Every structure is written in C-alpha cells, then in structure tokens.
Structure 1
C-alpha cells in the first residue's frame, strides 16, 4: 500500500503569501494619517479624498516600499562583498559619505537640481565605501565584530566632518532631514527618483549568482573563471547608488540593510538569488510597519520613520552581536 507523504507548502506559495501580507500593509498605510481618507468617501467619489489619495498617500506608500526593498537588498550585497553579517551601508560610512556629498553640492550650488545632488552624493558614497574596503583590507585579521566597529568609526568620522561644515554654513536643520529617514514630505512629483533604485535592485537580482560566488573569496571566484574585482566593483556601484538615491529622496534608513538580510539568511541560507525576493519582501514590510507606527504612536503628530527604525534596528543589532559573541565564546 502506498504511503501518502504530507507535502509542505512550496517556497513559491510562501512568497505569494508574503506578497499578499505586504500588500495588506500597503492598503493600511493608504488609510492612516491626520486627514481622513476612508473607503466610503472614495466609493462616494469625493474629490478631496481622491486627490489626497493620489497626491499624498499613494506616493508615500510606494516610496516606503521602494526604499525598504532597495536598502535591504543593498545591505545583503554589502554583507556578501565584505563577508561579514554585521555591516550595511549605514554602518560602513556609505550613507554618511552620501550625506557629505549632498552637503557639499548644497554649499557650492544652493539651487542645484535634485539630479545633480543625487549624482554628487553617488560619487561621495562610492568614495566612502571604497575607503572602508581599503581600510578593511589592511586589517591584520577580520574578526567578526571588528569589521562593523571599524565601519561605525569611519562613519562617525565622516559624520563629524559633515556636522562641522553644516554648523559652519548654518545647515544643521537641513542636515537632520537627510540623516533621519522621513516620508512625511513625500508627494506626487517628489518621489519618482526612487524608481531608479527599483531598477538597481533588479540588477542586483540578475547578478545574484555572481555575488554569491564572489562572497566565497577571490581565489574561489578566479578558479571558476570569473573576474572577482569586476564583481566587487559592480556591487560597490549598486550599493552606493541605492544609498545615494534613498538619502537624497527620503533621508537615511538605518539598520534596515543589517537586520533584514540576517533574518533572511537564518531562514533561507546564503544563496543570493533565493534570498533577494525574501529580503525585498521583509524590507518593504518592515519599513511599512515602522512607518505606520510612526504615524500612529503620537497621533495626530508623526514620528520620523528613521527614529522608529533606529530603536527597533539597534535593539535587534545588539541581540545579533550578543548572540555571535556567545557562540564564539
């Protein structure tokens, strides 16, 4: 007699379920805010409700999803490049360098268009990330906890320089807008640059197998006939561009690229092609949850999403560090 085996739901079904859950969070996000936008108003065809929905709520929700997806994937790529689970763009100086670039172009050309600011921020982000990789290459040993500490120290130095010049040129308030992620100012016509990071995220997915191989080391990559330096340069460009675009548009989104890839890695392993869709879903969902919390915790006032993510992200980051230390003890 044949024995029937119980089948577990396939990973595709779980991905579909995750996508539906993120979609439900997005729907909730559309109806959370100080101004009333309700389903009965929309069904009744009230013009004010529809205008508010298309001008503010839909762009904001799309910005949250795009930024969360891209930053989480950028963190995953960064971790494979450095071969360390405790790094991401906001802990290796990439975000701080992009912010410094925006400050420089703001001081030199106050009326610079957003595309010019984004371009300069991208160049500075590339330089800051390359500097971190150069410093990392000179370390005598790559201790698991030493790498993020070096990155945080480098980011602190760059951030201090940025703060000094922002104070000198009376731009501290403007600087705070770049350093703390905030979606409250997102409106139609002011978020469309984030579609660039969607394309960059897709490029990261298409190059997933190469990043997975590169994460195994230069010698292994070379033995397979691949150019390790070229793959590293591609990853460097993707991470820097994503960081620059997000910082320029909505500000820094801290810890997202750190905690989401670690959670996905624990659940699904280190294969990047398999991990990217889950990382994108977790990243979008996490930022949506934090944004909803920020809009409701002090209603009718709003807490920037960067503050909410700093509290939650730092807590999870410390838990990961302590877990690693206990494992190595």
Structure 2
C-alpha cells in the first residue's frame, strides 16, 4: 500500500518525537554514574537540594539533554538553508567557516574584553558568525568559479583554518588557552543553563526567519534565474536567509563550541525523506538534527567509558565518510 504524503509526514513526526523522548530519557539516566528512573523522576518533580543525584540531574544532565536537542536543530536548519540558498551540496556552517568565525570573535572578546557577561559572549559569537560568512562568500565572488561546491568548501576550510590559527595564537600569547578551549573542543557535558536561556530569544528569531524563508529558498534551490523569473527578490532573500544562518550558528557556538558535520549530513537525509520543499525540509531538519546530536552525545559517553569522548569525534565518525561519499558521487558540480 502506497503512503500518502500526509501519512508519511505524520509517521516521521511521530517516530522522530518518540525517538527524541527515548534518547533524552537515556541521557538523563546514564553517564559516568547511572541514576535510576525513580531518582530522575523525583529530581524532576520533588527535587532535594541535598541529594547529589538530584543535583546531577537538574544542573548537568537536563541542560545537557536540552542543549544537544537545541544545537542539533539549529545547526541542521542552518545547513539546510545554506544548501538551498547556494545550491551547494557541501554547504554547512562548519565547512564554510561560519563556525570558525564565531570562535574567532569569542576569542577576541575574551582576550581584549575579559570578564564579559554571558550575553556578551553570545553577541561576540553572532558577530563572528557574520564575519566568517562575509569572508567566505565575499572571497568567492572575487574568484572565477567561486560559487562551485568544491571551491566554496576549500575557501571555507582555508578561511576557517586561518581564523582558527589566529585565535589559537592569540589565546596562547595572552594565556587564555584554557578558557578558550571549550569553544575549540565542544563539550556538551559542561553546558551552561544561563547561556541556553539567554540564547532562546535569538533562537526564536532565527527559526522564525528560517520558516519565513522556506518557500523562497525552495525557489532559490531551482536557480537564481528561475527564482528571479518567478518574481523573487533574490539578493534580499539571500541576505535574510544568511541572517538566519548567522543567528542559529552563532548561538550554537556560543552555547557549546564548534560542532561539525550536522549541517552537512542532516539536510541531505531530510531531503531524501521528505522531498525538495523547504517548508517541510526546515522543520524536519530541526527534528532530525536534534535527534542526531542527542544520539551522538549518548554515544560519546560510552565510547571510552567511563571517560567522555569529545562530541566532535563522534560526529566526525559519521560526517567524514558522508563528506567523502558526497565528493565521490556528486563531484564538483552544483546540487541538482
């Protein structure tokens, strides 16, 4: 029996939501120390400030689970928008240097404006995200064939590496490497609940903008000339779409540091499952991105138990083979 689009959508939503609930529950229960379901439930509904297990659940595991869901969703949506806007199957915040720009700006802030508030760190990260995007796409416009997937990927890697190198040099010279290391090597287990709360208004703006841009990005994914012929103001739409990417990437880096490959992998999987309409791709990318990073976070706890494996190692285990697969199957051309 052939499924209708509505039935498929409902099934995917239900399956994704159930999996997220299941993985989030496991995230609360298991870690370096296993905590019983009853203890977790009591920590949620009848917290005891004197109970160590309750403190672990409320101050560490809940923020960690929530942060993984949010960051996975933000990065996946960012990647989907970038791939649709540029028609570039390799586009993602980590590959295009946007995440590196965020880390660079945070480093500058911590070196030259020490003692910055949590809100200031978010603003630094947003500014750096915009800087990284401007450098990569601005440089691409100056080069012949600069918009091709491989050229953009190489430019993003070069500029990202440069920004990362300067950041490391500044951090070393001014002896703040230990403070900065969080943003270079993302660690979900040190999630700051204050940063998460402060980031939510920015996230609401970024996600709302992403949803508003969904239909125009679908038209852009057909090509600039086609979109313009359909009455779309291409440059304005690209600017607003990039603004959403900058916001969502910037707050993700501010909360947890640089996490790679989510924005590359998830949009491809989402398009395969729900089609080419970004009105469906955007929300489902958020769902699958949240699920993917939560799963990676859970895996990171047990790869080298009882020690934590950096989350970037786990995402790279999925991301690097996927990246190579895309290069092999798509070559250097734009996404069809």
TM-score normalised over the length of structure 2: 0.88
The range that moved more, 117-126 or 136-145, is 136-145
Do the aligned residues in 2 keep the contact of 1:66 with 1:194 (CA within 8 Å)? no
* Shift, 1:317, TM fit: 1.2
Structure 2 equivalent of residue 173 of structure 1? 178
| Residues 233 and 144 of structure 1: CA distance in aligned 2, closer, same or farther (over 3 Å) | closer
The partner residue of 1:81 within 62, 85, 89 is 85
In the alignment, which residue of structure 2 is the partner of 1:112? 116
Deviations 1:60-82 (A, max 9, x none): 11111000001100011111222
What does residue range 108-257 of structure 1 map to in structure 2 within 5 Å?
Answer: 108-141=112-145, 142-196=147-201, 198-199=203-204, 200-257=206-263
Measured against aligned partners, the alpha-carbon deviations of 1:189-241 in whole angstroms (never above 9, x if no partner) come to 34323424541223312321022223333333333333222111111211112
Alpha-carbon displacement from aligned partner over 1:134-170 (angstroms, at most 9, x marks no partner): 2222332244323212221221122222222222112
Give the deviation of 1:326 after TM superposition.
10
Q: Does the Cα contact within 8 Å between 2:83 and 2:90 map onto a contact in 1?
A: yes
2:331 aligned residue (300, 309, 325): 325
- Deviation, 1:20, is 1.1
Kindly tell me the number of residue pairs found equivalent between the two proteins: 324
Q: Is the 8 A contact 1:66 1:197 kept in 2?
A: no
List runs of 5+ in structure 2 lacking aligned partners: none
174-183 or 219-228, larger mean C-alpha shift: 219-228
Q: 1:22 aligns with which of 2, 12, 20?
A: 20
- CA-based RMSD: 2.3
Pair 18,43 (structure 1): closer, same or farther in 2 beyond 3 Å:
closer
Within the alignment, does 1:61 sit opposite 2:59 as a pair?
no
Shift of residue 12 of structure 1?
Answer: 1.6
Measure, in 2, the Cα distance between the counterparts of 1:311 and 1:203.
31
Distance 1:187 1:176, change over 3 A: closer
Give the aligned partner of residue 70 of structure 1.
74
The one-character-per-residue Cα deviations of 1:230-255 (angstroms, maximum 9, x if unpaired) are 11111121111212211111111111
Report if the CA contact (8 A) 2:296-2:315 is conserved: yes
SS in 2 for 1:89: coil
Which secondary structure state, in structure 2, belongs to the residue aligned with residue 91 of structure 1? Answer: coil
> Residues 149 and 180 of structure 1: is their aligned pair in 2 closer, same or farther, counting only changes over 3 Å?
same
Aligned residue for 1:271?
277
| Cα shift at 1:298 | 1.8
How many angstroms does 1:311 deviate by?
2.8
User: Could you tell me whether the CA contact under 8 Å between 2:111 and 2:170 is conserved in 1?
Assistant: no
